[in-house]
Each structure stands twice: as C-alpha cells, then as structure tokens.
Amino acid sequence: MNLFARRRRAKQLEKDLGAGLWRQAHDRYVRGLDRYHQILAGVQDDELHNQLVPIGDELAAQLPRVYQLCRTAHAQYPATELRVPAGAQHLHSGLSRAANHLATTAEAEAMARLNHGRIEAVRHRADEVLRSLQEAEDHFSDD
C-alpha cells in the first residue's frame, strides 16, 4: 500500500472508529490476526499448515464484523479516550475478549508449530474468539 493509500485509510479509520477506545479495540484484533498469520508463515509441516489455514481464514473473515461493531460502537458511544462509556461495558468486554482470545489462538498455533501443542487447542481458542464477537453483537440486540 502506498503512502497516499495508507493516509486515506488512516483518515477513514479515524472518521469511522475515532481515535480512542473503539479504534484501539479494532487495532488489537488486527494485531492478533497479523500475529496469527506471521506464525502460520513459518509452519513447515504441510499437514499442520493445511489445518491452520482455514482457522486463520475464518478469523480473518471476522475483520469486517469487528470493524462494523467498532464503527457502530463509536457512533452510539463516542469515546475519544480509553474510558469505556456508560452502557458500553458489555460491548467493549466482548471486543476486548475477542482480541485476547485471538492472541491466545496465535500462542496455541505457535505451540502446535513447535510440536508442543495440538490443533484442537488452536480450534478451541478460535471458537472463543467467535463466541466473544457474538457476545459483543448481542449488546446491540439487547437494546
């Protein structure tokens, strides 16, 4: 991505997500996803790699969902700082847990890559990411 495209993207992110809490929630998910794919790139075992790719694809497919959740959150609960606005605790908690679970998914993937873990642990952690995102979405259905 060239300099101008990155600047446009940064401005769009700030417009849609703000510069505070919701942007941080989105960026944490992106960092976790990047880490998962960095680890995946180093997997030498073809069988393991082929099992990890669909999990990574599934987590990557959630990025528009995370973006939309953060965008809607910013519209309904503007936050210029990192303080969680009143009424948004459940939503923020779900987004935060999703990012944390994504980080632990990458950890489980690294352990599997080193033959110290199992693919089932990676799958379990990825399922926790999905559950946490569902919990965040449930905030809007409760309104």
pLDDT on residue 106: 98
Q: How confident is the model at residue 5 (pLDDT cuts 50, 70, 90)?
A: confident
pLDDT on residue 143: 55
Q: Under a CB-based contact definition with an 8 Å cutoff, are residues 85 and 79 in contact?
A: yes
pLDDT on residue 142: 64
pLDDT on residue 72: 95
- Average of per-residue pLDDT values in the chain: 92
Confidence (pTM): 0.90
pLDDT greater than 70 at residue 123: yes
pLDDT tens digits, 44-75: 999 999 999 999 999 999 999 999 999 999 99
Across the range 118-134, mean pLDDT stands at 98
pLDDT tens digits, 84-110: 999 999 999 999 999 999 999 999 999
**Residues whose CB is less than 8 angstroms from the CB of residue 26 and which lie 6 or more positions away in sequence, other chains included:** 13, 17, 66, 67, 70
Across the range 114-136, mean pLDDT stands at 97
